[in-house]
Amino acid sequence: MSAKKTLRQILEETKECFLVPCVYDCASNRAVEMCGFPVSLLSGGEVSISLNGVIDYGFTNLTDLEWVVSRVSTTSSIPLICDVEDGFGGPLAVYRSCKRLAAAGAAALQLEDSADMEESTKILPRDKYLAKIRAAVEALKGTDCLLIARTNADPSDPEEFREGMDRVREAMELGADMAMMVLVSSYEDAKTMAENVPGWKILADVRADNGVPNLTMKQLTDLGFSMCSTHYTMKAAMEGMLEHGLQNFKDQSVAYTFSHASGTGQPDYSASPLFEPQAYLELENEFTGNDKEYTIVGHKVDGYPEGFKRIDIKDRL
């Protein structure tokens, strides 16, 4: 069984900024692991869509998030950062939320300074946000869970940009481990942030308009950023489901799905091979002494596709 590294260990060992894909459930996290990414980030917006079927508009609650975090982190071999939104209330609510999410397995919690989840670009007064930071820092003492201080301050407003940098810097002085300014997206704004906010930093949601990244990992490394989040998993999943769905609906057949596998190159009627089901039975056979094989209603499942990282079964149960 491999030893699961903490996020702190990965950050201390890694000298270059790296991509952190946003995930929303166990399957999306599994795909991220298979591709070799060392860390994943649970997206609040995508969790809302996948779990509740609605947009990110303050509908997700702590119980929802705790449920998802516990399942993804338990079945993952890599650290999971969790977007905890505004902490679901004032300082006491933040304290409770951080305690429970750290216990559920989150490797880091990203706490934003939104004044209202329906108007997430409006930021709290600094004193109110820092009170939440103090509560979160206290809640996470004695755990391996890091705290990411996130501000929604707008860089296009010089006064608000300065306020955002000041508050995340102060949050880190109070014990937060990392800073994120979610609306920073250009090189110049990232450079300004780097000059004013020391320590670990994460860039949010890097873009690549017209096929050209607006920031490269080398640029971010040179500026002192440690990680850079990116949203692709839900779009990729929906694109694939719509592609197959449209064709299967048109044909009233699943022949298209049986012959197309753009990711693995291994056509099959099920995604089960991607989860290496026979490995579960091999572990069970160690306990029973039997030689049971995994099938789907009598149909033998294909082997694990080549070219992807394998994850020890004992890291997934």
- Taking the domains of the chain in order of start, what are their residue ranges? 7-234, 261-304
Question: How sure is the predictor about 2, in pLDDT bands with cuts at 50, 70 and 90?
Answer: low
Q: What is the percent of the chain with per-residue pLDDT over 70, rounded to a whole number?
A: 97
Taking 70 as the threshold, does the pLDDT of residue 119 lie above it?
Answer: no
CA–CA separation, 35 and 88 (whole Å): 33
Q: Which residue has the higher pLDDT, 311 or 101?
A: 101
| Whole-number pLDDT of residue 68 | 98
Cα→Cα distances 27→33, 234, 235, 274, 294, Å: 10, 11, 14, 9, 19
| Whole-number pLDDT of residue 1 | 47
Domain 7-234 CATH class label: alpha beta
Question: How sure is the predictor about 260, in pLDDT bands with cuts at 50, 70 and 90?
Answer: very high
- Lowest-pLDDT choice from 117-131, 237-251, 252-266: 117-131
Strands (E), the chain: 18-23, 40-42, 80-83, 108-112, 146-151, 178-181, 202-203, 227-230, 295-296, 299-300
| Whole-number pLDDT of residue 37 | 98
Q: State whether the Cα torsion 301-307-312-315 is positive or negative.
A: negative
CB 107 within 8 A of CB 7: yes
Mean pLDDT throughout 98-125? 88
Which neighbouring-strand residues pair with 23? 42
Closest by CA to 38, choosing from 1, 80, 72, 3, is 80
Cα→Cα distances 141→137, 158, 159, Å: 6, 35, 33
Q: What is the percent of the chain with per-residue pLDDT over 90, rounded to a whole number?
A: 85
Burial call 257-280: b when 16+ CB within 10 Å, e when fewer:
beeeeeebeeebeeebbbbbbbbe
Mean pLDDT throughout 172-196? 97
